[in-house]
Every structure is written in C-alpha cells, then in structure tokens.
C-alpha cells in the first residue's frame, strides 16, 4: 500500500498528505470479511450438526403426511457444509487496496503541490531581495 507522505517547503512549512485510511481502510475491511466468514461458517456448521442429529434421533417423528423428511434435512445439512462463504468476498480486499492507493496518490500529490507552491513563493520572495 502507498504510504502517506509529508513534504517540507523551502521555508520550512510542512504539508502532510491526508490519510486515505480515513475513507478506505483495507485492514478494517479484511477484519470485517474475516469476521463475517467466521460467524457464517460457525453458524452454518452448528445448524448442519443440529439437523443431522435431528434427522438421526427423530427419524420416526419427522414423517410428515406419510413422507419421511429426513433425506431433505440431510440434503440441507450437506448443503450447509458445502457452503463456500469465502468466495463471496473474492477480490474485495484487493479492490479496497486499489481504492486506498488511488486516494493516497491523490492526497500525496495535493500535499506535494502545496509544498511546491510554498517553495516557489519562498524562492520568489528571496529572489526579490
């Protein structure tokens, strides 16, 4: 990731680039992604396990209108186990880094332009003497 820059003009003025993390923080985005994946994985695993237990322990009780719904419970349980939450977030961190870098480049350029302008003004004053 591109670092935030600090520029010093010839007259000593310091110009700090604005921090792009105020707008896009890839690390916070990655932490949120990791948290969502953890919660969904844990929850779907718990549900899957409970459905399997329900299907095994209550096979006789889960016949509805003469139909055994245990196979449906097993299919749902299997589907939950195969759920790939991670792929839903593919590329999101990379997009956040890209946006962060674009913003930081812009903020760095703005700070540099201010420092360059202050230096030019300082030099003009010095040359006037």
Radius of gyration of the chain (CA): 29
Please give the model's pTM, rounded to 2 decimal places. 0.71
**79 within domain boundaries:** yes
Q: What is the pLDDT of residues 98-124, one digit of tens each?
A: 999 999 999 999 999 999 999 999 999
- Whole-number pLDDT of residue 60: 59
For the chain (129 residues), the mean pLDDT of every run of 10, in chain order, is: 97 98 96 89 79 66 63 74 79 95 98 97 90
**1 within domain boundaries:** no
Contacts (Cβ under 8 Å, ≥6 apart) of 59: 68, 70
- Angstrom distances, CA of residue 20 to CA of 6, 14, 17, 33, 117: 14, 18, 9, 20, 22
**50 within domain boundaries:** yes
Q: What is the pLDDT of residues 65-75, one digit of tens each?
A: 666 666 777 77
**68 within domain boundaries:** yes
């Amino acid at each position: 990731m591109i670092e935030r820059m600090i520029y010093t003009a010839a007259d000593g003025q310091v110009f700090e680039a604005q921090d792009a993390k105020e707008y896009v923080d890839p690390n916070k985005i990655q932490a949120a992604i990791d948290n969502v994946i953890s919660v969904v994985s844990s929850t779907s695993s718990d549900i899957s396990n409970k459905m399997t237990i329900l299907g095994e322990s209550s096979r006789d009780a889960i016949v509805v209108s003469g139909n055994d719904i245990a196979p449906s419970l097993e299919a749902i349980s299997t589907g939950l186990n195969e759920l790939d939450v991670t792929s839903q977030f593919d590329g999101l961190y990379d997009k956040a880094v890209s946006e962060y870098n674009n913003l930081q480049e812009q903020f760095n350029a703005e700070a540099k332009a201010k420092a360059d302008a202050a230096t030019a003004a300082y030099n003009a004053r010095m040359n006037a003497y």
